[in-house]
A and B are shown apart, each in its own frame.
Chain A
Amino acid sequence: MKYRRTIYCDLLSYNYVENDLQKDPAEFYKHLSLFWTDLIYLMSSKPQALTSVGPMRNFATNAKKIATELLEANDDLVEFNTRLTEYYQQLADTWAEAQKKVTAKIPKVPADQEQFEAYKRIWIDMFDNDFTELFDSKKFGDNYGKLVASELELSKHWEQVVNVMLQSANLPNKKEIDEVYKELHSLRKRVSKLESQLKTAKPRNITNDSRE
């Protein structure tokens, strides 16, 4: 509400715009965008009713959803980038630590075949040990879990955007298709149960053909 009020004032005074813009630019533009999306929708809804069977009417009705999803996706993108940076930081730190250990153990560059094989074995063992320790740690698990969760949030936003497009083309969205899958699964279970009941009602030694 605060921003909505401010935006109305913006039309009258440039100072309000400047103040809010300086306070929180992302929030300011988010609300500015939503304000105009809402207003254009209200202004255009009546003429649009003329084209109620075409794709644009559906699309315009749900256009706000796309704007909202894209704006919210930005927050999740920030979280995703934070987690991804932490992920690579953990890998880089572990690499540096493992390399230090290898260098401490074998300071000289291998010069013959035997030394090279020994160096390679130690390098692989130490790196595998250190990285396995990392992948097995709580800090890695925590960050990995949050990284995957933020990626899933981005997927959800994308799914919502595509749903709006599908709806505008009168095509079923993911939720509707999921309902069909669920219904089919339920039907398959019921058929299987009925077949099983039929089977137990019959004597054993049913031939292969009769099953198929």
Chain B
Amino acid sequence: MEALEFKQSAPLTLGVELELQLVNTRDCDLTRAASDLLALIEKKPHPGEIKPEITESMIEVSTGIHARYDALLAELQAIRGTLVAAADRLNVRIAGGGAHPFQHWSDRRIFDRPRFQHVSQLYGYLAKQFTVFGQHIHVGCPDGDDALYLLHAMARYVPQLIALSACSPYYQGVDTAFDSSRLNAVFAFPLSGRAPFAVKWGDFTAYFERMRASGIVESMKDFYWDIRPKPEFGTIEIRVCDTPLTVDRAAVLAAYAQALCRWLLVERPNRVGEEVYLAYTYNRFQACRFGLEGEIVDPVAGVRRSIAEDVAVTLAAVEVHARELDCQEPLRALEQIARAGNDARWMREAYADGGSLPDLVWQQSERFRGM
């Protein structure tokens, strides 16, 4: 067995993955269209990478590696253009959002690939219930130790990212009262949650080898942690965000993560220890349930405030770094989200206005097009 080697990557470079919903134009329920869509897109060269996901009603797109927000946004928009054009020809619509508001999980079909079939057999109905849609943000790290430092230092800001991106208030046809119901589906998996506390890459490798030797996992892919190291890319992967309703917002969230990481790596403002996780699950619940109005508790700094306020305070702290990274503009957009409300709020308003969940999904798909 080869050792888990952490590949070096250019620090603070960004890559984004988005899981997207494929819905029909009739009643906006999820539809099995991934194979047809991929077959059409793969014929020609296209921006980004577009891949199947576990069910046929889902695709995953990923960008290349970017040093700056502008280039990331441009690539995401180009990918969106390709997808929408292909989907139009096939009478399929694409929507963002962390979960489909009214799909029934029993209707889902697992995409025909060995890994997906294995996951489906292992997890039973959980695999189909896992038809949820997330944004993953990769941030490049110089080495394994820095990656682990960043992973644990970022844990403090996970609730912010959850609340800012939350857009899965409806699940299986009902208002869940959560802003992000998607993460509840993730928490059902045995290897979800937070990574074990280790700050040396060697210690982490030892942990991973023990888990592998005992047959609990085969690869890093079997961990469904909120943030996990991705040694083969040389990144940490932040996995808590719901897929936003627009690619523009996905780029804004990535820019915020980048600025946060630069601040944490350069200034090392917080001491990282096991106590980081003292209030972790409480804060995460608050963020999922109440969104930006949720409460965040930082027992280390002795702070207790709303997540929206916490975002504002953090934005002030990272400002210098945002200037270095040329991402002041997206951070202003982020400030606006913290003030005016996240996409979950928009979805509840759109539902109240349109009166039906299919109509809501239609509006989501219009927003994804950039309408």
**A pairs with B:** no
User: Residues of B at under 8 Å CB distance from A?
Assistant: none
User: Residues of A at under 8 Å CB distance from B?
Assistant: none
